[in-house]
Amino acid sequence: MEIAELKAKAAQIRMDLLTMIHRAKTGHTGGSLSNTDILTALYYEIMRIDPQRPDWAARDRFVASKGHSVESLWCVLADRGFFPKAELETFSQFGTRLIGHPNNKVPGIEMNTGALGHGLAIAVGMALAAHRGGEDYRVYCLMGDGEQAEGSVWEAAMAGAHYGLDRLVGIIDRNRLQISGSTEDVMGLEPLEAKWSAFGWHVVQIDGNDMDALLQALREAPQAAGRPTLVLADTVKGKGVSFAENQAKWHHHVPSDEQLAQALEELRAEQARHMQKTGGGAR
């Protein structure tokens, strides 16, 4: 896909997740909006996957360690064809598969996640299995920045470097806000790049809402043989919705009817701008 198409797709995913959250009257809105560009880059351009064969042995693996921001992931998986898009209407309803955290009863989900700090350890195990088995699939793990306060993240980081897992790519959605406020007020993380480097990872810091930068960083990983890669993706919480951007209250907040209408109007305009560059219409 062209860059403009990927940006238009990200706008559509944002519209889908907002509509889903509004319908369900629950959801983690801000973090799902901030990580949408990351997921779009991975699932539409970077990862080796086959929605018709979700258990394909050679597939790349994705672990959503920040499992509470599952709404964008559900929308991407549905759009890619892992399950029918109509199922998004059941999100957080009684008996649904689409609960508020990744659920491995759904095709495309490798592990149940959401207890923060566990995802990277799982990803390390997957990458170690590939390393020892001579397999060439990659393992991607998306973490939140508030999650970096969990000690298990750093135990897994040590293990990834110790075993030289250069097909392991960690990504931090660095939007600087968590449920209780600024990450730097709750538990200061800086200098975050230096910390990951000190743990033996090759670190690339980028604008995580810039599709070009995301694609370049993810395509070039690993950039150092024998070392895992950490993409430190600086993002905006609530990205794409003017009144939600950089607002801590939108960590877990449901748009009203009026707010949904305004957000969809903004995102449709953004999508149209990108599609004009491709000569196509909105998808």
| In the predicted structure, residue 163 carries a pLDDT above the cut 60 | yes
Q: pLDDT tens digit string along 227-272? A: 999 999 999 999 999 999 999 999 999 999 999 999 999 999 999 9
Mean pLDDT computed over every residue of the chain: 96
Tokens of 116: 């923060």
CA distances to 72, 74, 216, 274 from 64, rounded to whole Å, are 11, 11, 21, 28
Residue 272 CB coordination number (10 Å):
13
Decide if 92 contacts 170 (C-beta within 8 A).
no
Q: pLDDT tens digit string along 25-76? A: 999 999 999 999 999 999 999 999 999 999 999 999 999 999 999 999 999 9
Where do the domains of the chain lie, and which CATH numbers do they carry?
Answer: 3-276 (3.40.50.970)
Amino acid, single-letter form, for residue 145 = D
pLDDT category of residue 280 using cuts at 50, 70 and 90: low
Look up tokens 């706008």; give the residue. Answer: 11
- Strands 177-178 and 181-182, by their bridges, are antiparallel
Tokens of 105: 């009863």
pTM > 0.85: yes
Tokens of 138: 């990659």
